[in-house]
Amino acid sequence: MHSRQPEIAAALKVCPPFEGPEAIQAEIDRRVAFIQDCLRQSGMKTLVLGISGGVDSTTAGMLAQRAVEGLRAAGEGDDYRFIAVRLPYQVQHDEEEAQLAVDTIKPDECHTVNIGAAVQGLARAVEALDGLTPELRDFVLGNTKARMRMVAQYTIANARQGLVIGTDHAAEAVMGFFTKFGDGACDLTPLTGLVKHQVRQLAAVLGAPERLVQKVPTADLEELTPGKPDEHAHGVTYRAIDAFLHGEEVSEEDARTIVQTYDKTQHKRELPKEPF
């Protein structure tokens, strides 16, 4: 075991491996109850979540829909709603899977906001983008897309007195694999502490189709490399990341990559610095 594994796992509140189907169902029930408590405590009645077509947003969406249906069934109010939001940039290359995710979740409402014009308009107005290499410009605008998607979600949430759900989990958090103030900005993160294969386990038990459960994860933010797998960006597989977070043996090279990336991205997991 790498000396940093226990420390990092504790910091990310990593959930231990599930011991069978009953444990998975118990975890689903616990996280649904968490979402319901967040609504009760906030006084809000609506949940908003962007649906990409990946297993993370599919799982979080299914949990959210269960949460509001449970509140309605318990007589706590017929006005609890879950809004799924499609946020394509122009035409999404895996739109068919995104629609499959929406059909699987069966949200109370589904809105579509195409962020293409907003991102392009901002790009034309920002002089700092001038002179960048095509690759760097593409990377910068990839983060802009993530931030624009969160702007859209919060606009809907503000209009409907709602909370925005994030999809971050331990296997992404350890790698800092989210855009600061983009998909990293939200009101609640019901997948916190889960490693990637645990998200897949929850999705399968919730009834997601195998096509979505086993889909190759991609942030799909860069136009020059559409559908780029997360693992290519990480430089390490999710299998190795999951093993590391669960205290299992991984190669020295993988452990070094994970720890170095965790340390380098620490600022993304912290609140803004203060002069006190």
Hey, what are 87's tokens?
């946020």
Hey, what are 197's tokens?
């294969």
Given 27, 56, 97, 220, which residue is catalytic? 56
3-class state of residue 240 by DSSP:
helix
Beta strands of 65-184 (E only): which ranges? 81-86, 109-112, 162-164
**DSSP structural state of residue 111:** E
H-helix or E-strand containing 48?
strand 46-50
CA distance 226 to 147: 18
Number of neighbouring beta carbons within 10 Å of residue 267: 10
193 conformational bin, left if phi > 0, alpha if psi -120 to 50, beta if neither: left
Given 27, 94, 168, 172, which residue is catalytic? 172
* In contact, 49 and 64? CB cutoff 8 Å: yes
Give 11-16's long-range contacts (Cβ < 8 A, gap of 24+).
12/170, 12/173, 12/174, 12/193, 12/245, 13/170, 13/192, 13/193, 14/170, 14/193, 14/195, 14/245, 14/246, 15/170, 15/193, 15/194, 15/195, 15/198, 16/246
* 172 annotated active-site: yes
213 φ/ψ angles, rounded to the nearest 5 degrees: -60, -40
* In contact, 50 and 57? CB cutoff 8 Å: yes
| C-alpha separations of 123 from 117, 128, 129, 143 in Å | 10, 9, 7, 12
Residues designated as active site: 56, 172
